[in-house]
Structure 1
Amino acid sequence: MHTFKALALFWLIALPGIVNAQDGYVCPSNGSELQQLRIYEINRSNKDTFHKRFQDHALRIMKRHGFKILDIWESDSGEKVEFIYLLAWPDKSTMDLRWRKFFSDKEWIDIKKRTAAESGELVREANGQPLTRVSYSPACAKR
Structure 2
Amino acid sequence: MIQQLRIYEIFEKNKAAFHNRFRDHAARIMRTKYGFRIVAMWETKFGDRTEFAYLLEWPDEATKTAAWSAFMADTEWSEIKRVTHAEHGLMVGQIEDRWLVPVDYSPARERSLLQAS
1:95 aligns with 2:95: no
Q: Map of 1:34-45 to 2, 5 A cutoff?
A: 34-45=2-13
The higher relative CO (CA closer than 8 Å, separation ≥ 6) is in 2
**Partner amino acid for 2:38?**
I
User: How far is 1:77 from its partner?
Assistant: 3.7
SS at match of 1:124: coil
> 1:69 is matched with which residue?
38
TM-score w.r.t. the length of structure 2 is: 0.87
1:44·1:80 contact (CA, 8 Å) conserved in 2?
A: no
TM-score by length of 1: 0.72
Distance of 1:79 and 1:135 partners within structure 2: 35
Per the TM alignment, residue 138 of structure 1 is displaced from its structure 2 partner at its CA by: 6.5
| Largest Rg, 1 or 2 | 1
Question: What's the secondary structure of 2:56's corresponding residue?
Answer: strand
Moved over 4 A (4+): none
Distance 1:132 1:78 in 2: 26
Aligned residue-pair number: 109
Provide structure 2 residue ranges, at least 5 long, that are not aligned to the other structure: 110-117
- C-alpha displacement at 1:139, in angstroms? 5.8
Q: Does the residue aligned with 1:35 lie in a helix, a strand or coil?
A: strand
- Contact 1:102/1:108 (<8 A) preserved: yes
Deviations 1:66-91 (A, max 9, x none): 00000000002450100000000000
Q: CA-atom RMSD, angstroms?
A: 1.7
